Structure 1
Amino acid sequence: MNQNLILKSGQLEPAEVQAMARELAGSINRHTAAQASLPNGATRPGERGDPVTLGAIALSVITSGTAVALFQVIKAYFERDESLEMAFEGPEGRKLTIKTENMSAERIDETIAMAQAFFGAHSG
């Protein structure tokens, strides 16, 4: 099943969000079993784009088993910018939104468990 990941930031400019999305997709591909790509129509750094595509990453081959590795990659991005928000959306419209407070040391295990349940609902 495919999911979408939308990256947002209250502090970064749109071009910076898009550059971070491109970098995050590469990190996901290198460090997890998931496959990440920027959807068609996504802009290049310095270009303006449809706000719907800014910060968008298409994810495939996500299962509950890949959630731990995925969240280790994502955690590094939250450590870089505390204004980040990442929203996962499944094909049937279910959403899981992760914010900085979800990635704190105290809540990371709970967040990973929520993600495993979210992604597990899509594998099958």
Structure 2
Amino acid sequence: MSTHILLVGDESPHIASHGRIPGILAALGAEHTWVPTDRVDPAGLAAADGVWLVPGSPYASEAGALTAVRVAISVCRRAGNGFTATSAWLRAPTRSSSSEDWSCPAATVRVRSGLSR
């Protein structure tokens, strides 16, 4: 059984990394599914081996992107599934200075910006 990664974001041919990420995952032997931010399903996220919040903000649904982050971190803490975010959106002052605990000690959480274009 291969690893299944959910790519959360609004897929666009105008964002270079959206064309590159699937190939990278395939080279690593991982399957992927795109999940638009306005169609985030917490149960579906919890069933994946990992979640990647991809570049491309502003997202169609900020609430959906935040839900994906919260669910992914919760699953990461409980089951050790991975979560990666390569979106500068997550580092915006309204999110990075909140009182929410974004830590995930059971697995690596990577937040990187500047990779989207």
Q: What TM-score comes out, normalization by structure 2 length?
A: 0.33
Length-normalised TM-score, structure 1: 0.32
Higher RCO (C-alpha under 8 Å, 6+ residues apart): 1
